[in-house]
Amino acid sequence: MLMAFSACLLLVFLEIFSVFLLSLAQDQSGFISLDCGSPRGTTFREGTTNLTYISDASFISTGVGRSIKQAYRTQFQQQAWNLRSFPQAIRNCYTLNLTIGDEYLIRTNFLHGGYDDNPTTQFELHLGPNLWTTVSTTNETQASIFEMIHVLKTDRLQICLVKTGDSTPFISALELRKLKNTTYLSRQGSLQLFIRADVGATLNQVYRYGIDVFDRVWTPYNFGNWSQISTNQTVNVNNDYQPPEIAMVTASIPTDPDAPMNISLDGVDSTVQFYVFMHFAEIQELKSNETREFNIMYNGKHIYGPFRPLNFTTSSVFTSNEVGADANGNYTFSLQRTGNSTLPPLLNGMEVYLVNLLPEQETDGKEVDAMMNIKSGYGVNKIDWEGDTCAPRAYRWSGVNCSYIDNEQPKIISLNLSASGLTGEILEFISELTSLEVLDLSNNTLTGSVPEFLVNMETLKVINLSNNELNGSIPATLLDKARRGRISLSLEGNTGLCSIISCSTTKKKKKNTVIAPVAASLVSVFLIAAGIVTFLVLKRKKRVKLGLNPNSGTGTTPLHSRSHGFESPVIAKNRKLTYIDVVKITNNFERVLGRGGFGVVYYGVLDNQPVAVKMLTESTALGYKQFKAEVELLLRVHHKDLTCLVGYCEEGDKLSLIYEFMANGDLKEHLSGKRGPSILTWEGRLRIAAESAQGLEYLHNGCKPQIVHRDIKTTNILLNEKLQAKLADFGLSRSFPLGTETHVSTVVAGTPGYLDPEYYRTNWLTEKSDVFSFGVVLLELVTNRPVIDQKRERSHIGEWVGLMLSRGDINSIVDPKLQGDFDPNTIWKVVETAMTCLNPSSSRRPTMTQVVMELKECLNMEMARNMGSRMTDSTNDSSIELSMNITTELNPGAR
């Protein structure tokens, strides 16, 4: 059977619908809904979806607002009544500042609506520097809607409309919906919607927000030889995908119970790759002698199964790898009942996404930031300074030249702003263009001096500052570089400039006229300052003699509290406990949970909840420094995979931190067997790895400024009563200073074996130091062997695993306690990820965002492997995600 999907199915996106809006008060956090072309300050709540839209004016600086014909307004939702038209520039871009690593559904809406006399248009839609799709309209009431699921690789998202012919680009609405980062994962590129079908729908109705929590739009679809079934019972949809329940309470089955359910897709070029997501739920009450079991086939080959849908509970099955057309051009996807099944297969919902590789590299993010600051700082008003600075090459900013090297981000090598009406001083943002070779700021009215930072830009070969109004001395080192031919320097036409020698001659003449009064003033200031210092020293001695704290305004704090170098309270007063409170909480420190370099951890009860109380045992400056670092960090970080601070005590030299209680201790205890004979399964270890990786990824990317933990190890990964992993012990953590720093220089701290050798060698701390430590943790999860073992052929676990891999012997490194109960593919993948984390060069290590994605994929694969045994328990109410490791090919058809 042929599944022919037409663009007309998408036209209903903007039609008014009002059926089954289950909740008009769902949470819209993570939603961005822009009404394009409406006046600045506009905001409204759309009546049928209850979505709140705002004007797009704050996100774009080009284009003009227009409106569709009044007669068409009743046919479309309010966000389609206005549009933004771009009659001038070639490329016009929306810029949204978001968070790197977040996953968004991005939807663009285009409705001409007769706003001008030419409803036939064609232009390109770009995601950053990459082509997303071509937009075409042929009449006033034909709507076009495009969706992309995209994981942000930078903190900046740009959606651009590009003029390719005579017609004028326009856009009606731009919508972003934040998704869970555990869903819709792809190995490469982003996912462009092909079809999202409510299979088995009993109503010819499109559903979106109010029905779907992520505002996905579902289109009803049924084949002619399929029958529909439905239920009045509740279906559990609470897995990560959360398909709408209204779609899951219906399903399609083949009308002939012995026939398979075939879905054929065609009409797409054989080079296209895509992902398939299917949602299943058993919605019939099966009798004791009834079974529904089927295999999932592609082009006659078995790819998954036997599979049994869970009773009234959603299971989402998806391809973990992209698939495409086979050599014979066949595209038949089939659900076939097994010999043990008494009932035919069913299907509730299905999503198909094309892979858009987005091959164009974006310009280096720091250089883009620098160019945006230069643009705003000088008020540059160039019509083509829109979108990515260097990419694609055809739309590179005027006056900018870039280097283009395969598989590397473009870098700016030339900046020509000659005769651009620049005023003010030479901006220091220029120094952030670290590959700049040519700088031309001539023929403007720049003032101030020639800045020293130009001397330190090692790649600069040509500087042209001629014909400005610069003044002061020219840096001697810059003149020296020009004299030795290392740089071409043009400064003519700046009458106020002078060399060091000529400037000093002029200054010398003026110097004698002011030296006497200046000297007199300095003597007076010195005498006054000396008197003040003498007074304060005498007063301080008096207070100490009285036994009072000179840092206290009341004189009531014991003197010994100064041994910590106290500055100011490091935590909010409403979380502060007294030392007496701590004694009561711990029942006079009755039960010890553990001991570490910081101190002793005791069991306690606070507000009828178990807590862990960490006491600083020694009154040392280092101890207080760690205490303060941990308190201040935990006050501003909140994440489900980081331990939660409940309270603190800071009373003289009595310092303590009160945490949520983690009932199952640390990961090291479980691997070593100290927590009893039960063994962490491979799936359990993958889950712990993914959760702790998420916590670390949050520190690196979710915190401003960025935080480096510095002590990642298995003893600092704690497990609660549900074996959920949380990172702990932030005493050594460091925040990066705000600015452009890529590292901080620190005294080396950490645990031997986990310590990044590059950090140890250079004292330069970056987030990649944590990545190295986490790679060691991953190897511990796989091998359950000591990090350092002098009895091994290679003492460090990373070197030993590398040696075993070079011999092709992966089975010898896997923890024998797992007894072979694992998917070897996921073992290989985790080990490969760990070894990449241990690369001696930090620049070649992955980011934690990349590590999280790899681990989640492994977890999904392992969950899929274990699915067969779980299916036998029909009383299991938990939702389970399946990952089909499909190796055959499938190709979708055109809209």
User: Helices (DSSP H) in 767-816: which residue ranges?
Assistant: 767-783, 797-806
Which residue is associated with the tokens 């279906």? Answer: 235
How far apart CA 115 and CA 13 sit, in angstroms, is 20
Integer angstrom CA distances of residue 736 from 25, 26, 740: 39, 37, 10
Structure tokens at 201: 């729908």
711, 729, 756, 770: the catalytic one is 711
* Whole-number Cα distances in Å, 330 to 239, 265, 278, 303, 556: 32, 8, 20, 15, 85
Catalogue the long-range contacts made by 397-404 (C-beta closer than 8 Å, 24 or more residues apart). 397/371, 400/371, 401/438, 402/363, 403/435
* CA dist 3 → 223, 332, 354, 573 (Å): 8, 10, 16, 65
Report the relative pairing of strands 645-651 and 190-199 from DSSP bridges.
Answer: unpaired
Rounded Cα distance between 725 and 612, Å, is 16
* Amino acid type, 400: V
Nearest alpha-carbon partner for 353 in 208, 196, 223, 124: 196
Q: 685 by DSSP, 3-state: which? A: helix
Contact 213, 237 (CB under 8 A): no
Q: Which two tokens stand for residue 464?
A: 């042209």
How far apart (Å, rounded) are the C-alpha atoms in residues 781 and 814? 9
What single DSSP character describes residue 628? H
Beta strands 170-171 and 130-137 are: unpaired
Which residues make Cβ contacts (< 8 Å) with residue 551, sequence separation at least 6?
557, 562, 566
Q: Which two tokens stand for residue 575?
A: 């979380």
Distance CA 533, CA 551 (A): 17
Identify the helix (H) or strand (E) that includes residue 843: none
Query: Is 614 marked within a binding site?
Result: yes
Please tell me whether the peptide bond between 705 and the residue prior to it is cis, using omega within 30 degrees of 0: yes
Active site residue 711: yes
Catalytic (active-site) positions = 711
What residues form the annotated binding site for ATP? Answer: 614
What residues form the annotated binding site? Answer: 614
